[in-house]
Amino acid sequence: MVVFNLPPDSSVVSPENNTKDTYKIQEDRMSKFLQSNKKKLFITLGIIALVILINLIRNSFAQPEIHPLTKSWEKAVPNQELPQGLASMSAAYCGSCHQQYYEEWKYSTHSHAWTDLQFQAELRKESSPFLCINCHIPLQNQQELIVDGLIDGDIYQPVTRKNPHFDEQLQLEGITCASCHVRNNAVIATHENTRAPHAVVQDADFLSEKLCISCHNASAVVTPSLVCTFETGDEWKAGPYYPEKTCISCHMETMEREIVPGYGEKQSHYHAFPGSGIPKLASETTKGLNGMGIYPSPFNSTAAKMDSIIYKLTLINEFAGHNLPTGDPERFYNITFTLKNEKDSVLANQMERIGEEWQWHPIVEKLSDNNLKPKEERTYTFSYLPLKEEQLKLSVEITKHRLNQENAAYNKLPAEYPLFITIFDKEYTVEVK
Ligand code: HEC
Ligand code: HEC
Ligand code: HEC
Ligand code: HEC
Ligand code: HEC
């Protein structure tokens, strides 16, 4: 790299004129030695070879070396030609025939994987390398630049050129139909299909949970201060649902319906990709699944003075095939118990958290993790000793968060950006006698 920054001053010894000088000296020495004996000549030739070799090595160090991309997430899916029979690869176009699919996908988190304000905020940070985009807009057609390699293998120094096939519409669609369905210039399907007006190639293995895991499982230390940790795939493989129930059987429900209106019903998969249910836009409601079984203990509406009021709440990761929460390490649940008197003054407050805790600076390190494993259950207990006769109100709330307030502020997300949803909200009154 330094080579490019040298001033064009002849007094500066560049690797080039350095080599020339060395050759000049070598020539003079050679003619002298030629007059001497043969043994000496061989030794000299050896020395010359060594000098040349050293120079070659030195020069190769001075030049930046372009390393090829090696890790899967460093690479985009190579450029795709339009599959035969299609006029565009955009979801809106697929949706002109596969209407229902388009309507479902449009409100999914996948369709927001590029436009999401949090993603865009993080992408703009200097610490975010180019490779961030490869799981959020995976096709090369979706990317403005083509990355040919890395200077000195450094992920912050990609060698780029303009992508002549860049499709802006496709970029905006994030994880679009083509991101999952178009490979080798054809539409991939799990079954053969001869009725489609477009090329269809059957590849059930490609369209299996392996596809989901290719993005939903990354555990890599990119740099000491940048770590990718989405371990949903590993959590699933270590859990009780593997291999019978998969990402697809839980997240893409099977139903009988028409794939294209007028073509008759057949087996189909729901394409809204429901997950946490925390929307990406305040103006949208996002389809979610419920993984958490919530079981409050029976609770008496009367209590005796000087006798503890006890409330137990049992949470079970009952329906998710992985930890709760999973994926992004910033996700968490808050469980809040608040006890108030008749005047609305808070008498007691208890807050529990389910999630991971990370230190991000100066090096990334996981500090704790109490995520609920599949089928794991945990009971939280709230207790209070009433000292006098009065009416009390206990409210119990469970909220599921995408990220916390501080990080939202740090990323300058607008106030209306949805950070959490409430999944349990109960109020109990207790008459203390
Ligand atoms: C001009 C209409 C049209 C467009 C545009 C279109 N398709 Fe299709 N597609 C069809 C029809 C018709 C079928 C066959 C339906 C059937 O067999 O019930 C089909 C079948 C399929 C299948 C195979 C279904 C199976 O049998 O398992 C997939 C997958 C598919 N399309 C995906 C896409 C994707 C992705 C796009 C956009 C890149 C797209 N299609 C664009 C009309 C269209
Ligand atoms: C090309 C990479 C990629 C593939 C393939 C992929 N995903 Fe995703 N998925 C993502 C990204 C990125 C997000 C988050 C987007 C965001 O938050 O803006 C996401 C979000 C989700 C969510 C929503 C999470 C939430 O916030 O509630 C679910 C559920 C999901 N994916 C399931 C699946 C399943 C099931 C498959 C396989 C059929 C799959 N994904 C394939 C990258 C991918
Ligand atoms: C046994 C069914 C089941 C299986 C198998 C399963 N999931 Fe889930 N998943 C769920 C449920 C239920 C939720 C909703 C959890 C909740 O209450 O927020 C969920 C939530 C998610 C979320 C949102 C994050 C969150 O914490 O809510 C992502 C992302 C996700 N799943 C991806 C995957 C991927 C990828 C696979 C395959 C490796 C997979 N899931 C396998 C049932 C399943
Ligand atoms: C995150 C990946 C992903 C995205 C995005 C996606 N699909 Fe699919 N799609 C799948 C998978 C996986 C299957 C096969 C499920 C199976 O057969 O087990 C499938 C199946 C299909 C089928 C065959 C019939 C069926 O339901 O099984 C059609 C048609 C289809 N998708 C159309 C679309 C269209 C149109 C879009 C965009 C609006 C789209 N898909 C977006 C993963 C995706
Ligand atoms: C290996 C694939 C992959 C790479 C590389 C990747 N992401 Fe993601 N990203 C995902 C998946 C999968 C999700 C959804 C996880 C979930 O919701 O559980 C996601 C979600 C996100 C979200 C939304 C978080 C949330 O809670 O909804 C942001 C922001 C994000 N990624 C930023 C980045 C940045 C910045 C980089 C580069 C440093 C990056 N991603 C690189 C796969 C990837």
**Quick one: which atom of ligand 3 is closest to the CA of 233?**
38
Encoded tokens for 379: 């009971």
- Cα(360)–Cα(382) distance, rounded to whole angstroms? 32
Residue among 208, 250, 354, 376 whose CB has most ligand 3 atoms within 8 A, to mutate: 250
Look at residue 56 in the predicted model and tell me its pLDDT. 61
Tell me the CA end-to-end span of the chain in Å, nearest whole number.
80
Closest by CA position to 80, among listed 148, 172, 176: 176
Look at residue 54 in the predicted model and tell me its pLDDT. 64
Do the Cβ atoms of 296 and 313 come closer than 8 Å? yes
Ligand 4 centre and the CA of 178: distance in Å?
9
Encoded tokens for 38: 């043969």
Look at residue 23 in the predicted model and tell me its pLDDT. 41
Q: Which residue type sits at 337?
A: F
Length of the chain, in residues: 433
Encoded tokens for 232: 């949903």
Cβ neighbours, 10 Å, residue 143 = 23
Closest by CA position to 311, among listed 397, 388, 389: 397
CATH superfamily of 292-432: Immunoglobulins (2.60.40.10)
Look at residue 30 in the predicted model and tell me its pLDDT. 45
Each of the 433 residues of the chain gets a pLDDT tens digit; together they read 222 222 222 333 333 333 334 344 444 544 554 455 566 656 666 666 676 666 666 655 567 899 999 888 889 999 999 999 999 999 999 999 999 999 999 999 999 999 999 999 999 998 889 999 999 999 999 999 999 999 999 999 999 999 999 999 999 999 999 999 999 999 999 999 999 999 999 999 999 999 999 999 987 777 777 777 889 999 999 999 999 999 999 999 999 999 999 999 999 999 999 999 999 999 998 999 999 999 999 989 999 999 999 999 999 999 999 999 999 999 999 999 999 999 999 999 999 999 999 988 888 889 999 999 999 999 999 999 999 999 999 999 999 999 999 999 999 999 999 999 999 999 999 999 9
**Backbone torsions φ then ψ of 229, nearest 5 degrees:** -135, 95
Residue among 119, 120, 139 whose CB has most ligand 5 atoms within 8 A, to mutate: 119
Cβ neighbours, 10 Å, residue 257 = 13
Angle 116-118-122 from CA coordinates, rounded to 5°: 120
Instruction: Indicate if ligand 5 lies below 6 Å from the C-beta of 228.
Output: yes
Angle at which helices 15-34 and 38-62 pack, to 10 degrees? Answer: 180
Residue among 117, 140, 209, 216 whose CB has most ligand 2 atoms within 8 A, to mutate: 216
Ligand 1 centre and the CA of 353: distance in Å?
45
Look at residue 52 in the predicted model and tell me its pLDDT. 66
- Cα(113)–Cα(367) distance, rounded to whole angstroms? 28
Do the Cβ atoms of 32 and 26 come closer than 8 Å? no
Instruction: Indicate if ligand 5 lies below 6 Å from the C-beta of 113.
Output: no
List ligand 4's pocket residues with C-beta within 6 A: 91, 94-95, 98, 101-102, 105, 110, 175, 177, 179-181, 189-190, 207, 211, 248, 252, 259, 268-269, 271
Encoded tokens for 175: 């994880």
Instruction: Indicate if ligand 1 lies below 6 Å from the C-beta of 106.
Output: no
Is the Cα dihedral 212, 209, 139, 142 positive or negative? Answer: negative
Longest C-alpha distance within the chain, in Å?
Answer: 119
Ligand 4 centre and the CA of 420: distance in Å?
28
Q: Which residue type sits at 122?
A: E
- Cα(108)–Cα(275) distance, rounded to whole angstroms? 9
Look at residue 18 in the predicted model and tell me its pLDDT. 37
Q: Is the backbone of residue 3 left (phi > 0), alpha (psi -120 to 50) or beta?
A: alpha
Q: DSSP per residue over 43-74, as a string?
A: HHHHHHHHHHHHHHHHHHHHSPPEEPP-SGGG
Is the Cα dihedral 273, 278, 281, 283 positive or negative? Answer: positive
Look at residue 228 in the predicted model and tell me its pLDDT. 77
List ligand 2's pocket residues with C-beta within 6 A: 109-110, 112-113, 116, 119, 135-136, 138, 175, 179-180, 211-212, 214-216, 247-248, 251-252, 273, 275-276, 278
CA 337 centroid distance within chain: 33
Ligand 2 centre and the CA of 256: distance in Å?
24
Sketch the domain layout of the chain as residue ranges: 2-63, 72-269, 292-432
Look at residue 33 in the predicted model and tell me its pLDDT. 44
- Cα(115)–Cα(121) distance, rounded to whole angstroms? 10
- Cα(259)–Cα(263) distance, rounded to whole angstroms? 7
Look at residue 221 in the predicted model and tell me its pLDDT. 73
